[in-house]
Amino acid sequence: MPRGSTRPTSRDVAQAAGVSQAAVSLVLGDKWRGRVSETTAERVREAARDLGYRPNLAARHLRLGRTRTVLLVVPALTTEFFAGVYTGAARVAADHGFGVVLYPSPEGVGPARDPFASAQAALDGVIASSMAADALTAIRGDQLPLVMLDSDPRGSLGAATVNLDIADGARQVADHLLGLGHRNFLHLAADVPSWTFEVRAHELAARIRAVPGTSLRTAHTPMSIEGALAAAETALAAPPRPTAVVCDDDKLAAGVYKAARRLGLRVPDDLSVTGVDDIALAAALDPELTTVRLDAELFGERGMQALLAVLEGRAPDDGDIPVDLVVRGSTAAPGGSSGVRPR
């Protein structure tokens, strides 16, 4: 190639070596072993030397990031779940030479404030957990490579989404309680405008109401033990009293425990209680809480893997992450024996 003001590109190297640009990227990125032959690799290196080729860092940044920094936006740091999401995301990021900045939005699931003077200048991509896509416009997350966690795939501005199979979790809870004989239910629902909680409510109601003779009431509560205590105490005091309470979160379940004690009710003899997350609190309650286990670290890992795929122009893996119901001592047949098998 004639020397001049034009800088040689990987395409020029590919043409000179008689190979594809993908092969050039593999060889010059030292990822060719087992994918191209030694002869081809040497031919590419020789062409690059002859042309005076140097990697175009600006072009590489489009695929691999400019600052190799990712922003993880979460609604809050009030539970260990989001700490687990960060741990998983940071682990995968570190394996690929990226750093992760954790940003708890001061507005919860509402519009996030820009934590940088210009997020686009400081970041290569955004992972947003349990937030509406339009909540990211303040940090221009909708203009950056974006992955949405725990979000509606149909309303995420075309962003890649990674979800837990929370709908199946709600079905597992309903089937477990129905199988124990419960027919009168209370859903203690998080008072948060979030897709994930809408899915839980829909699936729970559909599963329960498909069984004749069942009833389901819903009480909304802030995401706090104190809020759950107040909401549950009011709901449990109103007839007819449910025999099972399904909570959107383990912290809410802790509030139900406190409300039950104030009303002279025993868990699980008088009232079965379930949660979601399986945080440390679930095993600290007495009796231990039956809950849907969500693998927060795997969730974060899959989110970071999806963002890396987006940055490299690949399609992220499909499929929701499975969840499991962990049956413990907080659920039993109505007024009867525990649903936990003796050890």
Q: Which of 105, 125, 124 is nearest to 115 (CA)?
A: 105
pLDDT at residue 54 in the model: 64
Query: What are the two backbone dihedrals, phi and then psi, of residue 287, each rounded to the nearest 5 degrees?
Result: -70, 160
pLDDT digits (tens, 9 = 90+) for 12-25: 888 999 988 778 87
CA distance 301 to 87: 8
CA distance 135 to 152: 13
User: Higher confidence at residue 6 or residue 255?
Assistant: 255
Q: Which of the 8 DSSP states describes residue 40? A: H
User: 44: domain CATH number?
Assistant: 1.10.260
User: Higher confidence at residue 214 or residue 78?
Assistant: 214
pLDDT at residue 62 in the model: 46
pLDDT at residue 3 in the model: 43
Residues 103 and 247 grouped into a single domain: no
Question: Residue 125: is its pLDDT beyond 90?
Answer: no
Q: Which of 200, 152, 130 is nearest to 172 (CA)?
A: 200
CA distance 94 to 84: 15
Total domains in the chain come to: 3
Give domain status of residue 339, yes or no.
Answer: no
Residues 243 and 98 grouped into a single domain: no
Question: Residue 219: is its pLDDT beyond 50?
Answer: yes
Give domain status of residue 1, yes or no.
Answer: no
Residues 283 and 291 sit within 8 Å (Cβ to Cβ): no
Residues 221 and 238 grouped into a single domain: yes
User: Any bridge partners for residue 219, and if so which?
Assistant: 188
CA distance 92 to 98: 8
Confidence of residue 138 (pLDDT cuts 50, 70, 90): low
pLDDT digits (tens, 9 = 90+) for 282-294: 999 999 999 999 9
State the average pLDDT for the chain.
84
What is the chain's length?
343
Confidence of residue 202 (pLDDT cuts 50, 70, 90): very high
- Cα-Cα-Cα-Cα dihedral sign, residues 240, 242, 247, 252: positive
pLDDT digits (tens, 9 = 90+) for 72-101: 888 766 678 889 999 999 999 999 889 998
pLDDT at residue 107 in the model: 53
Give domain status of residue 330, yes or no.
Answer: no
Q: Which of 302, 268, 271, 306 is nearest to 287 (CA)?
A: 268
How far lies 41's CA from each of 15, 45, 49, 96, 324, in Å? 14, 6, 12, 23, 48
Position 115: which residue type? P
Range of the domain at 50: 10-55
pLDDT at residue 36 in the model: 79
User: Higher confidence at residue 301 or residue 145?
Assistant: 301
The residue-averaged pLDDT of 102-122 equals 57
Residues 147 and 170 grouped into a single domain: no
User: 125: domain CATH number?
Assistant: 3.40.50.2300
Give domain status of residue 318, yes or no.
Answer: no
Residues 224 and 279 grouped into a single domain: yes
pLDDT at residue 182 in the model: 98
How far lies 25's CA from each of 16, 64, 93, in Å? 14, 12, 21
User: Higher confidence at residue 70 or residue 193?
Assistant: 70
Question: Residue 198: is its pLDDT beyond 80?
Answer: yes
Residues 109 and 129 grouped into a single domain: yes
Residues 235 and 306 grouped into a single domain: no
